[in-house]
Chain A
Amino acid sequence: MHVHGSPKWHPETLAAHSGVGQDHSYGSVSTPIYQTVTYQHPGENLGPYDYSRTENPTRHSAQEAINRLDGGQGAILYGSGMAALTALVHTLHQGDHVIVTDDAYGGTYRLLTDVFSKFGVTSTMVNTRSLDAVESAFTPATRLVIAETPSNPLLRVSPLRALAEMAHSHGAQLAVDNTFMTAVRQRPLELGADFAVYSATKYLAGHNDVLAGATVCRHEEQYALLNELTNATGSILGPWDAWLLLRGMKTLAVRMDRQEANAVQIVQFLSRHAKVRDVFYPGFGSEEQDLLQKSQSSGTGAMLSFVLYEPSQYVELMNALRLILPAVSLGGVESLITHPFNETHRELPEEVRWELGIVPGLMRLSVGIEHVDDLIADLDRALCALC
């Protein structure tokens, strides 16, 4: 990124300049796509790039853009968000223990309980909103806390500064899954976290056309270790996808502004609707959660969920929508709706889902950039059609 000279650029400015001014050959404003595996090395002198699994100029540009946006000491891009999380867990050892937000994405739960448990890594799911609950989950072997805030799908807010302090006092590190907020709304590293982890598939890329993951590190040594292990395991992002991610990041701030404004209006609409029992949105309906969200984020994002009075009607609701697409994933320009109980969170045992409030009739809505009146009309028509 060429915008040197001041550490005070706003995130909107940094996002718009993602990858800009990175071409040293011709000064091209858009980063070139280096679709190459290897680099010529006459004699014994290695250049800055030698093999694209290790480093690729297009990926490097995108990594630098994300790192700058989050204010880190280094960022690494992966083939998916789960690949980013897998690489982070690879920095642990057998015998280590992980604490994770209880209503985190189902894939995070699956990775820890079904894959890494075989390699001697244990994990505890806790309500990370409660510092008492987190405190009592620590064991002498705890090395990593993974917090997702706002959480998925119930948009519960966990106190990042306090979690960072607590993790550090136990000799552990804090990783924050910042997928829902992104650095234009929440900057975990500035709040004390050691890692910001992303499914970049979502808001960062923003068009439902790139599968990608990212980890931004607060400390150089941790970046060096993660980079070394990622080079060894090879779960990297390809150059085309890195370029599309860069392209998406340039509009991150304007997309998020529109999506968030739409979401706020939809929350108001749904909270007054006769067919809707409950609406979940960061800080909505709780002064304490609202204050907490405001203390650590500059906005509330564009993810919301709501519960129908009559759970069985979720089938009819999804069938009745004409604009909002029933599909998993989130964060793109088009609005998507899912039913987490049997889609995004089906990896969690059923009793855990019930306990957390991930129940039949809970709908998760990823609000897009369409005109808000069209979105509200679509929801209203579909909800009113429920008998």
Chain B
Amino acid sequence: MTEKNTQFIHTGQELDPATQSVTPPIYRATTYHQADPWNPPEYDYARSGNPTRHAFEAAMATLEGGARGLAFSSGMAALTSAFMLFSQGDHLIVTRDCQGGTQRVLRSVFSRFGLQASYVDTEDFEALEQAVLPQTKAVLVENFSNPFLHVTDMPRLAEWAHSRNLLVMVDNTFITPYLQNPLELGADLVIHSATKMIGGHSDITAGVAVAKTDELGRQLYFIQNACGAVLSPDDSYLCLRGLHTLPVRMEQAQKSAEKLAQALFVHSQVQEVYYPGLPGHPGHDVAARTMRGYGQMLTVRLKSPSLVPEAAGRLRLARTGAGFGGTETIVSLPELHCHAALTAEERTLRHITPDVLRISVGLESAADLVADFGQALG
């Protein structure tokens, strides 16, 4: 068994069988010559399977410790495909503090087809217990949650959910396979927006899911092939390329995130800092016990909403916009960017108010970042 960070580079899928090239070629073909159509080759049509996509999917399966990985055209396409596993009349329990897109697709698309969802704090086991209905089929945990970085105790959650016969799905985008492997802690399906830390360069829109078992992998593959929201070969290659540097990027970015969190914590204009690496964070102990780090995402609440546009306008290094997980630090304003998918009412209920800033820490020097935020906040 190799060390975790070695697996990110030597995924076992990188050698091209035809040429021994150390990176997989980008196969653009949509179709494959069938010399013997009655024994079709491994790949016959690009929606059904593509060698470049497969290299990324297999690497993800190895890294997450699952039976099968499946890559999609976006993180939302991965989540949508997972929701397509269910049926009319089913019910899901979803982390209340989830990314906006999850709540939007359940509200605007799946409610049309009779798939219902309840939103609860998945770190609160009493709340979870109360949310279970006879028709509940699964729990979708977002860990860390978005934007307030709640921490769910994954082994305990998996044990509880399985005792209630619920499938455990985890949106592991914030944590990445480098810091936690939910499948090894009992989850059944792990989902990523690979647009973020996996791609890692703010240049690919991609999603990926890894199933623990062959059977669940087969079911999700059926949806991937039938509904066709697959990842393109170029973007698959770029995702695989991103995986190689995920450990070094995450190590650097989370070190800086911790320093920035500490600096903001004592800043006079900052009301609250949400970062699991701070000892006072309610999920700190669970994160310390179940994860290999605290990640590079943090959220702050400023003392006044009027400080937000002022600070955003004064930032020199950090970029303001949607998205996260790139090499550059990105600040998102929840109403305009990361949680724009929520209705105003949904945001208010979730305390996502205009005094909140979400920060994705990149690879700049920590000292430069601390200085940039310091001067921007005044």
Contacts and interface: CB of A to CB of B under 8 A. Distances in A.
A41 B233 CA distance: 30
A240 B312 CA distance: 32
29 contacts: A36-B203, A37-B199, A38-B319, A41-B336, A79-B72, A79-B232, A86-B226, A86-B228, A107-B228, A118-B87, A119-B88, A208-B31, A213-B228, A232-B104, A232-B341, A233-B77, A233-B80, A233-B229, A234-B73, A234-B229, A235-B72, A235-B229, A236-B77, A240-B232, A315-B38, A326-B34, A327-B33, A329-B31, A329-B45
Interface residues of B, number: 68
Contact of B29 (A46, A83, A115, A209): A209
Contacts of B76: 53, 232-234
Interface residues of A, number: 69
Contact of B313 (A36, A42, A238, A336): A42
A326 B35 contact: yes
B44 A328 contact: yes
A327 B43 CA distance: 11
Interface string A209-238: 111010000000000000011001111111
B313 to A, nearest CB: 5
A43 B78 CA distance: 31
Contacts of B322: 38-39, 50-51
Contacts of A120: 88, 113-114
Contacts of A327: 31-34, 44
A120 B229 CA distance: 21
Contact of B227 (A53, A82, A121, A240): A82
Given A39-B322, A342-B38, 7 more contacts: A42-B313, A51-B323, A83-B228, A111-B227, A211-B47, A211-B230, A233-B77
Contacts of B326: 37-38
A207 B87 CA distance: 38
B231 A79 contact: yes
A381 interface: no
Contacts of B78: 234
A195 interface: no
B84 A93 contact: no
A234 B330 CA distance: 22
B181 interface: no
A281 B150 CA distance: 61
Interface string B329-351: 01001001100010000000000
Interface of B: 28-35, 37-38, 44-47, 72-80, 84, 86-88, 101, 104-105, 108-109, 112-115, 195, 199, 202-205, 207, 222-223, 226-232, 234-235, 309, 312-313, 319-323, 326, 330, 333, 336-337, 341
B47 A318 contact: no
Contacts of A107: 226, 228
Contacts of B205: 37, 52-53, 56, 234, 236, 238
A339 interface: yes
A384 interface: no
Nearest to B341: A232
Interface string A344-377: 0000000000000000000000000000000000
